[in-house]
Amino acid sequence: MKHLDKITLLGAALLPFSIPAGALSLSTDPVGGTIIEIPAGISILSDSYLGEALFTGTVTGVSPDGLVVELPSTPAVQHPAYLHVLSGPDAGRISTILDSEGPFLTVETALDLAEGDALVIRKHRTLGELLPQGLGNGSTATFYNADGTIESATFFEKHGWLDGQFQLANDLILFPGEAVVVNASSPASVLMSGSVTVDPVKVGFGASAIAIVGSLNPVEDARLDDLFASAATENDTVTLYENRNGIFSVSSVHTFFEGHGFFTDAGEPSVTGVPVGGAAVLRSSRAGHVTLPPAFSHDE
């Protein structure tokens, strides 16, 4: 699922246990937390954290179609989970793990991997995990997928999140770097916590599909150029939204011009950033990937 940028909906406050840059090292999986204030009504919620790391290692083999990956040992995969490529031609890409048998993993989307490429397996973040108490009875969550499909769920206090067929939807996946459109029946404070990435993550988007892309930096706002300049093409637009006093509306629209970057409707270079906990809506004429920079580097 993908999702967007500016939402005053999100007045994010870092918790005391957030990890400062200087405290990070390669030997740890840094963690942190952010409190997000969600207003009643429509807003966009982005998750700046990752799920628990289940396995870190290198590739020992891959099938010709790129859908079966062999590891040096059997990982303890807890579904739903995904594979995040850390080195090689597809560094940054992720693919959901459909099946695991011994050291062999079957993934959802083909990956360009070779022996020795580094990877990490992480648990997916799900709707039921991120918003276990919902946002009030009758609140909704809508996901916009890279293939153009839309999934939604409604929260019922006695049942949890249910889809349109009244089946449990707690396991709807929020992919790294994506966001969800929520319509809360009442305001809520939500604690988002988890691992902080030290590696780039690529978020896929489809041609002419709505991609709602957030930031994986829980410490500071992300510049539009840092998020989208390498993925955007001529006349692509990025729209920021906000919820002000219960009214959800466009905050600003930014158009990309190759060789120049993003500009506002007033013709000025865009300086607005995607806020912590916020997201931006990308509309592109072609399919591609947005590369989200890590919150911290391996050297920090």
Q: Report the C-alpha gap between 259 and 253 in whole angstroms.
A: 19
Q: Supply the DSSP symbol for 22.
A: G
Neighbour tally for 278: CB within 10 Å: 31
Cα–Cα distance, 169 to 225 (Å, whole number):
35
CA distances from 224 to 213, 230, 261, 294 (A): 11, 10, 9, 15
What is the number of alpha carbons within 13 Å of residue 173 lying toward its C-beta?
17
Give the three-class secondary structure for 106.
strand
53-123 fold: Elongation Factor Tu (Ef-tu); domain 3 (2.40.30)
**Which residues contact residue 271 at a Cβ distance below 8 angstroms, ignoring those fewer than 6 apart?**
223
| Alpha-carbon distances, residue 105 vs 32, 36, 81, 95, 294 (angstroms) | 29, 35, 11, 11, 26
Q: What is the pLDDT of residue 299?
A: 57
CA–CA separation, 146 and 132 (whole Å): 25
What pLDDT sits at residue 243?
A: 80
- How far apart are the two ends of the chain, measured CA to CA in Å? 30
- Report helix, strand or coil for 127: helix
pLDDT digits (tens, 9 = 90+) for 114-151: 999 999 999 999 999 999 888 899 999 999 887 778 99
What integer pLDDT is reported at residue 297 of this predicted model? 67
Give residue limits of the domains in the chain: 1-15+32-50+125-300, 53-123
Angstrom distances, CA of residue 171 to CA of 25, 102, 127, 143, 161:
32, 25, 6, 12, 9
134 vs 89: CA distance, rounded Å = 39
Looking at residue 14, its pLDDT comes to 34
Mean pLDDT of successive 10-residue stretches along the chain, which has 300 residues:
28 34 45 88 90 94 96 90 96 95 94 96 94 90 85 93 94 90 92 91 83 84 78 88 82 90 90 75 85 74
pLDDT at 241: 86
User: What pLDDT does 18 receive?
Assistant: 37
- Provide the pLDDT for residue 24: 33
Residue-wise pLDDT for 176-224, tens only, equals: 988 899 999 999 998 889 999 999 999 888 887 788 888 888 887 777 8
